[in-house]
Amino acid sequence: MTKPVITQKEPYAVQLEADKNYAWCACGLSKNQPFCDGAHKETDFKPVIFQVEEAKTAYLCGCKMTGNGPMCDGTHKNI
């Protein structure tokens, strides 16, 4: 598997808590999108671990092609 699976061509809007560790799924195989569930183990992909400084709604990449993981950067509009 060299390319991630596109789970959806739009971001996931998720409510995040401040200073909590999150793991964004980069491979697209997780059944718990947009978060990692360990399904990447058989691939070369790794989740992106991140935090936010304040509680907010974030738009996490669903196409897995973002250049600004885990956040959506609009790349899905071109695929």
Please state, in angstroms and rounded to a whole number, the distance separating the CA atoms of residues 65 and 73.
9
Beta strands in 5-60 (DSSP E): 12-16, 22-24, 48-50, 56-60
Interacting residue with ligand FES among 7, 27, 62, 76 (CB under 6 A) = 27
Interacting residue with ligand FES among 25, 61, 63, 72 (CB under 6 A) = 25
**1 or 18: CB nearest ligand FES:** 1
Residues within the interface to ligand FES (CB under 6 A)? 25-27, 29-30, 36-40, 45, 47
